[in-house]
Amino acid sequence: MTAASESGSAGAGASPVTPSQTVGPFFGYALPYEAGPEVVPGWRPDAIRVRGRVLDGAGEPVPDALLEIWQADETGEIPRRPGGLARAGHDFSGFGRCGTDPDGGFWFTTVKPGPIGAAAPYIAVLVFARGLLKHVFTRLYFPEDAAAHAADPLLGDVPDERRATLIAEREGERRYRFDIHLQGERETVFLGF
């Protein structure tokens, strides 16, 4: 967030960016909502289920984290319509939110996004938590897309030994697991946005 944007808009009159602060431990009654993890209802035949845990540098669960996901639909189209809060009807809003449970666990039901351009299909993932003074930004890729991963521009920028942290594990038919290690030997790759 340091460099001026390519648009050159950060010239005269540019305002300094508001600093981030931690989400703290007490967001649980304010930010999560019941339908938050259900980007699409789990009963839909094309629904996938993603689950995982958020872990700290000692491998302990992070029970006060909040995850947000944002993604294209199954055809690779980025949704431009509301509905992420209300989940009314069958519109796909592309947004999901889930707080972690006492074991650091989270889950989402959604659809697998289609590819966009040269990028392999992925879901954008944000993690907020007590102890994170600024959220972290990552991507969830799917294990069956190995060929596309080889050509993916972002994965090409990631050191080989860390690439696996961005790829979910297959747990069954349309079921995936994606653990997030904030720190430690298997620290997830986080993006500098």
Distance in Å, CB of 173 to another protein, minimum: 25
- Which listed residue (44, 101, 114, 134) binds another protein by CB under 8 A? 134
Per rule CB under 8 A, is residue 167 in the interface with another protein? Answer: no
Distance CA 170, CA 174 (A): 8
Distance in Å, CB of 27 to another protein, minimum: 6
88-127 binders of another protein (CB under 8 A): 88, 93-95, 113, 116-117, 119, 122, 124, 126
User: How many C-beta neighbours within 10 Å does residue 19 have?
Assistant: 8
108-136 burial, b at 16+ Cβ within 10 Å, e below that, comes to: bbbbbbeeeeebbbbbbbebbbeebeebb
Distance in Å, CB of 18 to another protein, minimum: 5
The partner residues of 73 in beta bridges, in order of sequence, read: none
* Nearest residue (CB) to another protein, 51 versus 189: 189
Q: Are 121 and 173 in contact (CB under 8 A)?
A: no
Q: Are 179 and 138 in contact (CB under 8 A)?
A: no
27-56 binders of another protein (CB under 8 A): 27-31, 56
Distance in Å, CB of 64 to another protein, minimum: 8
Distance CA 96, CA 69 (A): 5
- Which listed residue (106, 108, 135, 178) binds another protein by CB under 8 A? 135
71-90 binders of another protein (CB under 8 A): 71-72, 78-86, 88
